Amino acid sequence: MSAVVFVAVLCAGVAAWVLCGRDRAVRRARMLLAGPWEPVGPVYGSLGLRRLEGRAQALLEPFRTRFGWRLGRELLCLPAGLVVAVLAHSAVPAVLAAGAVPLVGRWLRGRESRAVAEERASAVGALCAAVAGDLRAGLAPQAALAGALLREGWPDRSALADAALPLLAAARFGGDVPAALRTAARSDGAQGLAGVAACWQVTVDGGAGLADGLDRIAAALRSERDQREDLAAQLAAPRSTVLMLALLPLFGLVLGTGLGADPVGTLLRTPFGLGCLTAGGLLEWAGLAWTARIVRTAEAS
């Protein structure tokens, strides 16, 4: 028992350490290329926290390189499964938690990538409007682009930092801005930068024409964002219903325990209960997968 508790505490400590990872090289490059400005957000936190983040990155980098996937919040499944295993006097929850780690990690990374793509799309629209305003104020295109990038906080946002650094370098030091825009447009959610590159290529000699093109791109991106938000609002009710139905078995376990029965023990420590648990888990997974497919079809359409 003491060994299980020790392993649970160790897993919880490692999982908490992983949660605060951050790339420090991007911050140094941003300072070099962008020049002085007021830092935005919690990037420049306490020195102790930054040292802890650096140590966590150094400790986990060999594992990320070897296994090819990033360790993150999915590791919290391990201590949770161990705690349930200790309370239920069964090893089944620990085994299920270990098997759930890659699945939960995949789901978390997918949700994070979708959020990052939406953030990039919104940032591209705001950048187009800001550059167009600076061009109409009389700034040169390169100066307008560099100023808008800094003013919109691209270097301080992790989802945009990779695109901001080459764009800032090209705008500040006379580089190939359209090529940098096309490279940045390859990132998921930043496809609008390809249109900016096309407008830049054909109208860079006339700031007014470029401003009009950027305004049209910004309007198109705002329209797409409004459509996504409207679709998300329409799908909110079905998603809530599916979540409630998925949690009903847990309510049944709590109700059975409250009535004096032992449903958890029956499910985890008897052959008939293990069979019911396996069948119920497969049916639960099939229902969630079917619902997720319906939602993805609606979003794609």
Confidence (pLDDT) at 71: 62
Instruction: Give the containing element (helix H, strand E) for 224.
Output: helix 207-258
Q: pLDDT 10s digit of each residue in the chain, 301 long?
A: 444 444 444 555 544 444 444 344 444 444 444 444 444 344 334 445 555 555 655 665 565 555 545 566 777 888 888 888 888 788 888 888 888 888 888 888 888 888 888 888 888 888 888 888 888 888 888 888 888 888 888 877 777 887 788 888 888 888 888 888 888 888 888 888 888 888 888 876 555 578 888 888 888 888 888 888 888 888 888 788 888 888 888 888 888 888 888 888 888 888 888 888 889 888 888 888 888 888 778 777 6
pLDDT at 154: 85
Helix (H, G, I), strand (E, B), or coil: what is residue 92?
Answer: helix
Q: Which of 129, 193, 133 is CA-nearest to residue 164?
A: 193
Domain definitions of the chain by residue range:
102-233
Measured distance CA(178)–CA(162) in Å, rounded: 16
Sign of the alpha-carbon dihedral angle for 11, 17, 19, 25: negative
Residue type, 71: L
Within 10 A of 215 (CB to CB), how many other CB atoms are there?
Answer: 17
Structure confidence at residue 66 (pLDDT): 55
Q: Note the pLDDT of residue 85.
A: 84
Tell me whether residue 89 is exposed, middle or buried, using C-beta atoms within 10 angstroms of its C-beta: 0 to 12, 13 to 18, 19 or more: exposed
pLDDT of residue 37: 40
List of long-range contacts for 173-176, beta carbons under 8 Å, 24+ apart: 174/142
> pLDDT at position 266, please?
82
Phi and psi based region of residue 138 (left: phi greater than 0; alpha: psi -120 to 50; beta: remaining)? left
Place of tokens 């080459």: 166
* Residue 276: alpha-carbon gap to chain centroid: 35
